[in-house]
């Protein structure tokens, strides 16, 4: 089966020093770019994370400190991958929760411009979990009837992910699915827009899931004491919460998304203030003047008050008065 693409779809996989988005670093990245005509381009690189790889992590993906000590840093090669991903939608296995936010952290640290706003995201794991509830190894066996050779190498995993998606499209394109509200549909279609919707049901704002869109498309917090509350509403009630998050141990992309909402909220405040404190224009002054032109002022005559007493005139200050004041206050 050939993917029905309007623009390139880039499958990518990361191996890292760990899973903490704010702390850990990428040690290997593999990108398989599938073009609308069905042709493919692959770009793979190991990366020096500039920090030790924990042994328990190395035992999983097989990459040790010695293997990457002479490799380039992400800052050195980040622009190459940003250029390779120009005009691409993104796909992967568990990519919405890990690979995309991890990649964005590295781009932001390296100062490489890379935007997500106009892209579609297809998380193959979400299709699998929502339809079968399994792992990548099981998915590859279940859908493709194969075993992954050299599992946990980025290139092997991402090729398996690509094959799994093709098999999923064949298996589920006519399969009915029911959501939690009882709505039925056939969501697994050979269309990136449809796959984007189906694999992003949680509607994250920042991929790390600290903020999500509610049913009205409004950003709400998805953690902590303000969980479920509108982000802008929290800014109004507790503006210091923004500073707390910006200074806290949150992913850089989460902070970036938060900043966008903060700027938008402040711009709304400025507009409201301008409306309430709007200055009167010259034209409005002329209109008001013309409206009352020719009308005689209405001066009301004050009534006579027989009990009114004119205030007594104050006596001038003399040297005797000043001497009395000095004696009283000791100065």
The pair of three-digit structure tokens given for residue 256, joined into one six-digit string = 């970036």
Is a pLDDT exceeding 80 seen at residue 321?
no
pLDDT in tens, 234-261: 999 999 999 999 999 999 999 999 999 9
* Euclidean distance between CA atoms 145 and 150, whole angstroms: 16
Is a pLDDT exceeding 90 seen at residue 155?
yes
For the entire predicted model, the pTM comes to 0.67
pLDDT in tens, 172-215: 999 999 887 788 999 999 999 999 999 988 888 998 889 999 88
The pair of three-digit structure tokens given for residue 264, joined into one six-digit string = 């938008």
- DSSP string computed for 146-196: -PPTTTTSHHHHHHHHHHHHHHHHHHHTT--EE-TTS-EE----S-HHHHH
* Euclidean distance between CA atoms 165 and 127, whole angstroms: 9
Output the pLDDT for position 129.
87
pLDDT in tens, 35-78: 999 999 999 999 999 999 999 899 889 999 999 999 999 999 99
Fold classified for 9-201: Nucleotidyltransferase; domain 5 (3.30.420)
pLDDT in tens, 99-111: 999 999 999 999 9
Q: Model confidence at 134, in pLDDT bands (50, 70, 90)?
A: confident
pLDDT in tens, 73-87: 999 999 999 999 999
The closest of 221, 266, 265 to 245, measured between CA atoms, is 221
Q: Model confidence at 273, in pLDDT bands (50, 70, 90)?
A: confident
Output the pLDDT for position 207.
86
pLDDT in tens, 215-239: 899 999 999 999 999 999 999 999 9
Please calculate the CA angle 289-290-296 and round it to the nearest 5 degrees.
Answer: 75
Q: Where are the domains of the chain?
A: 9-201, 203-275
* Euclidean distance between CA atoms 31 and 33, whole angstroms: 6
pLDDT in tens, 3-38: 999 999 999 999 999 998 889 999 999 999 999 999
Q: 35 phi and psi, to 5 degrees?
A: -90, 160
């Amino acid at each position: 089966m050939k993917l029905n693409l309007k623009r390139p779809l880039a499958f990518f996989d990361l191996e890292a020093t760990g899973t903490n988005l704010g702390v850990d670093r990428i040690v290997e990245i593999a990108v398989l770019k599938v073009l609308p005509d069905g042709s493919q381009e692959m770009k793979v690189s190991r990366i020096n994370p500039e920090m030790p790889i924990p042994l328990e992590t190395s035992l999983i993906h097989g990459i040790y400190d010695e293997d990457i000590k002479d490799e380039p840093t992400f800052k050195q090669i980040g622009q190459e991958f940003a250029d390779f991903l120009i005009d691409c939608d993104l796909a992967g296995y568990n990519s919405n929760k890990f690979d995309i936010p991890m990649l964005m952290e590295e781009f932001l640290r390296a100062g490489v411009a890379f935007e997500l706003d106009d892209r579609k995201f297809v998380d193959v794991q979400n299709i699998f979990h929502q339809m079968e509830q399994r792992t990548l190894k099981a998915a590859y066996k279940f859908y493709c009837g194969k075993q992954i050779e050299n599992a946990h190498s980025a290139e092997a995993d991402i090729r398996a992910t690509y094959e799994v998606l093709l098999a999923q499209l064949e298996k589920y394109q006519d399969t009915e699915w029911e959501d939690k509200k009882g709505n039925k549909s056939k969501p697994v279609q050979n269309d990136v827009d449809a796959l984007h919707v189906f694999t992003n049901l949680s509607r994250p704002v920042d991929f790390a899931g600290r903020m999500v869109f509610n049913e009205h498309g409004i950003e709400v917090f998805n953690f902590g004491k303000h969980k479920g509350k509108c982000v802008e509403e929290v800014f109004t009630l507790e503006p210091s919460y923004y500073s707390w998050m910006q200074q806290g141990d949150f992913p850089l992309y989460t902070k970036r998304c938060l900043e966008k909402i903060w700027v938008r909220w402040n711009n709304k405040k400025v507009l409201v203030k301008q409306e309430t404190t709007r200055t009167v224009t010259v034209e409005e002054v002329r209109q008001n003047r013309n409206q009352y032109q020719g009308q005689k002022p209405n001066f009301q005559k004050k009534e006579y008050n027989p009990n009114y007493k004119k205030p007594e005139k104050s006596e001038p200050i003399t040297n005797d008065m000043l001497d009395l004041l000095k004696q009283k206050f000791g100065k």
